Amino acid sequence: MKQVDSRPMQMTRRQLLLGGGVLAGSLSLGASLTGCGGAAQAAGNDIRFWHLLSGGDGIKMMAMIDKANADHPDFRIKPTVLAWGTPYYTKLAMASAGGRPPEVAVMHAARVPGYAPGGLLDAWDLDLLAEFGVRPEDFGSRIWEKSQFNGQVFSLALDSHPFVMLYNTEVADKAGVLGSDGRLADISSPSQFLEVSRELQRVTGKHGLSYGYLGDGAQMWRLFYTLYRQHGADFILEPGRPAQVDRDVAIDCLEFITSLLDNTISTKSGDGGTAIAEFASQGSGLLFTGVWELPTMKTAGVPFGASTIPTLFGTPAAFADSHSFVLPHQATLDESRRRGVYQFVASMLKNSLSWAEAGHIPAYQPVVNSPEYAALKPQADYAHAADIINYDPVAWFTGSGSDFQGYFAENVQNVFLGRDKAADGWDAFMKRINTVLAMPNPV
């Protein structure tokens, strides 16, 4: 069989020489690039810092890093930004397992149980931290509790960022649900919430509430878990045994959420972007969202206030997570760099007022208690959320952007869309979770 021939492919000597030259040139260039054995080598005081904050948060973070670099000539932070969620956590685990991870990284506090036990993280040294003026009592109690794992401190929270409710003050006023203090009137039962939402809908003519969840497991979980915890029910995940949950409460919560998605109170099938755009263009009176959307709404110029999600089921509760600093485990530890990391983190905590501008509640109490923070509106209106925050159930596979939230989406999205019964969706989710719990913990 005849195929392709190579003979006519004459390369002239000149071309070959050129090719060889390029090859040799780049080889020698690379040799100088590789330096010591070709390993990732940073300059003496460079500190590699990974985070997952993009958009408005990313810009804020960049500014804070620039300030830290300017204030502290002893180190130089070199940030790397990776995509939020699975891609970030996958790469962080790979880098840590590989032995040359960044010196410091941001991690959601709820993800720590998936990293700490396997030796992927190093614990913080509280004495060294105190040297730079950061002490345990500087953190809110729920946040500090969350920073512990197996009796050691593995994560230092920069913030807590609860799931909250924004309300359009103009629309609320017209609907007659704005209190005399300019805040939304208290709502304390499911039926009252439905009523208020319908009032707001009559004013906007579109929807009362904006809540986008399509294709976003985190967003579905945040609202569900807020309401679930408001019932005072537990959610305990222990490897080797089935999940301990209150099935009736869970189904109740799913049914309540589904009742909101009736195309009147809220659209049946909206995604995050649509919900934000709708609230920003005054197409609704309420928005369920993370605090991090605050700057977007300020930019949009909507007249709005913020509060925690109303306590509809008795117990105040809000889903939250914390952006926390962690120390990925180094195969070979550079002491002076690690000191630089402590200094950097202390500086970030002390300057977290500018982080609060992005909507987050600073974890560092001296900042929260400062008059400057009290003057931040509407941030100060939900600062108390830090006392009612609830992190994800503790397990190696839970936390922001985790498989756990993915499983939730797979089974619950069709319930929200009205295609599946709440009980069926919930049971399928539990079946999935119990399968994972039955397997040996890979961490």
Partner 1 sequence: MATTTLSKPALQPKGSAETMPNRRPKTPLSRILATVIVAVLAVAWLVPFAWATATALKSETDAASTPISWIPASGFTLDAFAKVLQSGNIPTWTLNSLFTSAAITAITLVISASVAYAISRIDFRGKKMLMGVIVASIIVPPPVLIIPLFQQMQALNLIDTYWALILPQVIHSPMVFVLKKFFDQIPRELEEAALMDGAGRLRIFTTIVLPLSRPILAAVAIFVFIGAWNNFLWPFIATNESSLLTLPVGLQTIKSAYGIQYAQNMASALLAALPLIVVFLFFQRQIIRGVATTGLAGT
Partner 2 sequence: MSTARTTAPAKTSAPAAKSAPAATSPRSRRDNIHGWAFSAPFLVFFLLFLVWPMISGAIMSLTGKSLTGANSGIIGLANYAEAFADADMWRSLGNTLYFTLISTVPLVVIALALAALVNMGLPAQWLWRLSFFSPFLLASTVVSLFFAWMYNPELGLFNDLLAKVGIPPVAWLNDPAVAMWAVVIATVWWTIGFNFLLYLAALQNIPQQHYEAASLDGAGGWRQFFSISLPQLGPTTVMIVILQILASLKVFDQIYQMTEGGPGGATRSIVQYIFEAGFTGYRLGYSAAISYIFFGLILLIALAQVFATRKRSA
Task: Determine contact, residues 76/47, Cβ cutoff 8 Å.
Answer: yes
Which residue's CB is nearer to partner 1, number 56 or number 113? 56
Q: Which residues lie across from 178 on neighbouring strands?
A: 184
Determine the residue type at 215. G
Q: Which residues lie across from 209 on neighbouring strands?
A: 286
Q: Element (H or E) spanning 408, and its range?
A: helix 403-416
Task: Determine contact, residues 57/79, Cβ cutoff 8 Å.
Answer: no
37 touches partner 1 by CB under 8 A: yes
Rounded to a whole number of angstroms, the minimum distance from the CB of residue 342 to partner 2 is 25
Geometric angle at alpha carbon 62, from 61 and 63, rounded to 5°: 90
Task: Determine contact, residues 186/193, Cβ cutoff 8 Å.
Answer: no
Q: Is 356 helix (H, G, I), strand (E, B) or coil?
A: helix
Which residue's CB is nearer to partner 1, number 90 or number 189? 90
Residue ranges in 292-351 that form contacts with partner 1 under rule CB under 8 A: 331
Candidates 47, 48, 280, 425; binder of partner 1 (CB under 8 A) is 48
369 touches partner 1 by CB under 8 A: no
Task: Determine contact, residues 204/283, Cβ cutoff 8 Å.
Answer: yes
Residue ranges in 113-142 that form contacts with partner 2 under rule CB under 8 A: 118-120
Which residue's CB is nearer to partner 1, number 28 or number 259? 28
70 binds, among partner 2, partner 1, none (CB under 5 to 8 A by kind): none
29 touches partner 1 by CB under 8 A: yes
70 touches partner 1 by CB under 8 A: no
207 binds, among partner 1, partner 2, none (CB under 5 to 8 A by kind): none
Residue ranges in 175-234 that form contacts with partner 1 under rule CB under 8 A: none
Closest CA to 122 of 342, 334, 340, 327: 327
259 touches partner 1 by CB under 8 A: no
How far is Cα 338 from Cα 328, in angstroms, rounded to an integer?
A: 11
Q: Return the residue matching tokens 């040996």.
A: 440
Q: Which stretch binds partner 1 (CB under 8 A): 28-36, 116-124, 142-150, 194-202?
A: 28-36
281 touches partner 2 by CB under 8 A: no
Half-sphere exposure of 364 (CA within 13 A, CB side): 24
Rounded to a whole number of angstroms, the minimum distance from the CB of residue 330 to partner 1 is 12
410 touches partner 2 by CB under 8 A: yes
403 touches partner 2 by CB under 8 A: yes
130 touches partner 1 by CB under 8 A: no
136 binds, among partner 2, partner 1, none (CB under 5 to 8 A by kind): none
Determine the residue type at 284. S
91 touches partner 1 by CB under 8 A: yes
Task: Determine contact, residues 200/208, Cβ cutoff 8 Å.
Answer: yes
Q: Determine the distance from the C-alpha atom of residue 189 to the mean position of all C-alpha atoms in its chain, rounded to a whole number.
A: 29
Q: What are the strands, taking DSSP E only, across 274-362? A: 286-290, 304-308, 318-321, 323-328, 361-362
Q: Which two tokens stand for residue 207?
A: 């929807």
224 binds, among partner 2, partner 1, none (CB under 5 to 8 A by kind): none
Candidates 47, 64, 89, 101; binder of partner 1 (CB under 8 A) is 101
Q: Is 385 helix (H, G, I), strand (E, B) or coil?
A: helix
Geometric angle at alpha carbon 193, from 408 and 189, rounded to 5°: 90
Task: Determine contact, residues 153/147, Cβ cutoff 8 Å.
Answer: yes
Residue ranges in 3-42 that form contacts with partner 2 under rule CB under 8 A: 3-5
Rounded to a whole number of angstroms, the minimum distance from the CB of residue 368 to partner 2 is 35
Task: Determine contact, residues 205/171, Cβ cutoff 8 Å.
Answer: no
30 binds, among partner 2, partner 1, none (CB under 5 to 8 A by kind): partner 1
Candidates 53, 68, 93, 386; binder of partner 2 (CB under 8 A) is 93
How far is Cα 443 from Cα 441, in angstroms, rounded to an integer?
A: 5
Q: Return the residue matching tokens 């949009």.
A: 300
442 touches partner 2 by CB under 8 A: yes
94 touches partner 2 by CB under 8 A: yes
What is the binding site for partner 1 (CB under 8 A)?
Answer: 1-11, 15-16, 19, 22-23, 26-27, 29-30, 33-34, 37-40, 42, 48, 54-55, 58, 78, 80-84, 87, 91, 94-95, 97-102, 331
What is the binding site for partner 2 (CB under 8 A)?
Answer: 1-5, 86-87, 89-90, 93-94, 97, 118-120, 215, 403, 409-410, 413, 440, 442-443
